[in-house]
Amino acid sequence: MKRVSLLFLLFILFSCDSDQDKAGRFFLKANEAMAKGDHTEAIRLYTEAIGKDDQMKEAWNNRGVANYRAKRYVEAINDYTQVLLQIDPDFVDARRNRVNAYLDAGRYEKAMEDLDVLEELYPDSAFVDFTRGLVFHEMKAFQSSIDAFSQAKSKSDNDAEILINIANGYFMLKDMDRAIQLLEEAKSLDSTEPNIYNTLALIEISKPTPDYSIALENVNQALKLESNNPFFFNNRAFIYLMTEELMKAQEDIRLAIMGAPENAWAYRNRGILLYKREDYAAAIRNFQLAEDYDAKVPLMHKYWAFSLLAQGNESDACEVAKRAMEDLSSDDDFKKLSCL
């Protein structure tokens, strides 16, 4: 349900060849570049269109989409804001698109402000509630996320994607039975949704005594349905790490980082891989990088402390262990640390 709106217009070009006509031609060529996935060329052509007609809101919006798809979120936000502040404050497509750009840029409060505006215009919109759920989830306000997705569900029956997102909220709240129930319901609606199987894999991994064969079966099914998802690769890498299949883990981590280079969990996994290979200095560098992106990734500080202990650095290991998401005081490997 998270979509960006790309606009297509039909231009009638006259022999006078005005600036508006030239802008129209650049706009159409830019749309063609977008259709081919050439975002850099599309941005250049939309910029040419804007240079000929700086009031062409469709060109500003579409350049924002091109920037967004190129992961240039600040530039995308600037394009959408130009439309809303300088051309047409009621241009809904630009506001909806700006919500997604704010979300991916981590500017959650600004995303909420735009959602409040959209909710006033469209109080029955499932999009508003769904996107609000995504924002709350990223903010780690999981019960609020569940509530928002449930509102979206009441406005959009039989939507497997909404059920999966509610299930993810319950998973984060450690209500595994409710999460599984919702995932099975989603599967009955659309068994081709890959995130059903990815979340089932995560649930299995999180058990006190996980069955990694079941987790692997589920994540492989997710990858069968969406073969280039870097987060699925990363989750499979973790399974391989836990089953000591380090070569397989290495390849999946490579694909995970290549597809999502700011994913803290992928650097955590690479740190664990390097720890298991006794390359402790490199492991520590990856844990530090992971923490820069997200300081609350589970197991990151545990293996980071392991790496420091392996180097004989108990003082720093103690400080890192204190930052762990999980309680390490009862872990046999850390009992000798007086600080815990």
Q: Could you tell me the domains of the chain?
A: 1-95 (1.25.40.10)
11, pLDDT greater than 50: no
Query: What is the distance between the alpha carbons of residues 107 and 79, in angstroms, rounded to a whole number?
Result: 16
What is the rounded CA–CA span in Å between residue 214 and residue 219? 9
Tell me the pLDDT tens digit for each residue of 224-263: 999 999 999 999 999 999 999 999 999 999 999 999 999 9
User: What separation in angstroms does the CA of 261 have from each of 74, 77, 264, 267?
Assistant: 17, 21, 8, 9
Q: How many CB atoms lie within 10 A of CB 337?
A: 18
Q: What are phi and psi of 13, to 5 degrees?
A: -95, 130
pTM, two decimals, is 0.84
Q: What tens digit of pLDDT does each residue of 315-336 get?
A: 999 899 888 887 777 777 776 6
Q: Where are the alpha helices (DSSP H) in 173-263?
A: 176-189, 194-205, 212-225, 230-242, 246-259
Give residue-wise pLDDT tens across range 271-296: 999 999 999 999 999 999 999 999 99
Q: Give tens-digit pLDDT for 125-143.
A: 899 999 999 999 999 999 9
| Element containing residue 318 per DSSP (H, E) | helix 314-322
Tokens standing for 89?
Answer: 């404050």
> For the segment 55-107, what is each residue's pLDDT rounded down to a tens digit?
999 999 999 999 999 999 999 999 999 999 999 999 999 999 999 999 999 99
